[in-house]
Amino acid sequence: MAAALCAILVGCTQVGPTAAPDANPTASPAADLVASAPRISPPPVSPPVAPGTNLPGFACADSAGGTTGVANVTAVRVAEQLDYDRFVLQFDGTVPKYTAKRQDKPTFPMGASGQSITLSGTAGALVTVHSATETNSYSGSTDISHTEFQVIKEARLTQDFEGTVSWALGLDHAACMRTFTLTNPARLIVDFTTATS
């Protein structure tokens, strides 16, 4: 009787198939995805160049640049930096063709009138932009004086006629300059070094 009871108990405990350990275990589905995913390394990315670290050098020569097109002057600024003084013309479109010409004296013609003006300083530079206007787009000062600056002593609008805008700059001394353009917003930058040559 005990033997029969024992046989029944053993039979009851083995109702379903026994769970035998798998001889070939597999990883979890999540592990399969990670292991089978392609290994892609992103290409090296150069860090952005900080503003002002990739500027052209100063040259004791005239310069020209810009692109073909028409734009309006929207702002004019003069600023003093540690190693240079800066003149800025800001536009509502791409910077048009321009020239920046150095001269021995701070005397400039006033547009087509034939009259001339003399600005503060002992030397000068004339910044001229072609295919531009500022009559209806710029409401700031047209004669900016900074006698405390090391180089740029005065900036004055000398022409805004028939698509030509000219700003005369009175300089403390003949200084080497650099010109370049920036975007967002479009600007023409003219820097004069404070270093003596």
Could you report the per-residue pLDDT of 166-189, keeping only the tens digit for each? 999 999 999 999 999 999 999 999
The model carries a pTM of 0.73
Mean pLDDT of 124-131: 97
Structure tokens at 159: 């022409």
Residue 144 has pLDDT above 80, yes or no: yes
User: What pLDDT does 152 receive?
Assistant: 98
- Residue 183 belongs to a domain: yes
What is the C-alpha separation between 51 and 108, in angstroms, rounded?
33
What is the C-alpha separation between 30 and 32, in angstroms, rounded?
5
- Residue 175 belongs to a domain: yes
70 and 83 in contact (C-beta within 8 Å)? no
What is the C-alpha separation between 10 and 57, in angstroms, rounded?
96
Q: Which of 160, 173, 154 is nearest to 87 (CA)?
A: 154
Single-letter amino acid code for the residue at 53: T
Q: What is the mean pLDDT of the chain?
A: 83
HSE on the CB side for 177, CA within 13 Å? 31
Produce one character per residue of 62-99: b if its CB has 16 or more CB atoms within 10 Å, e if not. ebeebeeeebbbbbbebeeeeebbbbbbbbeeebbebb
User: What pLDDT does 127 receive?
Assistant: 98
What is the C-alpha separation between 74 and 139, in angstroms, rounded?
8
124 and 192 in contact (C-beta within 8 Å)? no
Per-residue pLDDT tens over the stretch 45-98: 545 444 556 889 999 999 999 999 999 999 999 999 999 999 999 999 999 999
100 and 127 in contact (C-beta within 8 Å)? yes
- Residue 155 belongs to a domain: yes
- Residue 16 belongs to a domain: no
- Residue 74 belongs to a domain: yes
By the 10 Å C-beta count (0-12 exposed, 13-18 middle, 19+ buried), 24 is classed as exposed
Q: Give me the CATH number covering residue 84.
A: 2.60.40.3500
Q: How many domains does the chain have?
A: 1
Which structural domain, as residue segments, surrounds residue 110? Answer: 63-193
User: What pLDDT does 5 receive?
Assistant: 43
* φ, ψ of residue 3 in degrees (nearest 5): -65, -40
- Residue 186 belongs to a domain: yes
User: Which of 41-55, 98-112, 160-174 shows the lowest mean pLDDT across its residues?
Assistant: 41-55
Q: Which of 66, 90, 71 is nearest to 131 (CA)?
A: 71
- Residue 108 belongs to a domain: yes
- Residue 181 belongs to a domain: yes
Provide the percentage of residues in the chain whose pLDDT is more than 90. 69
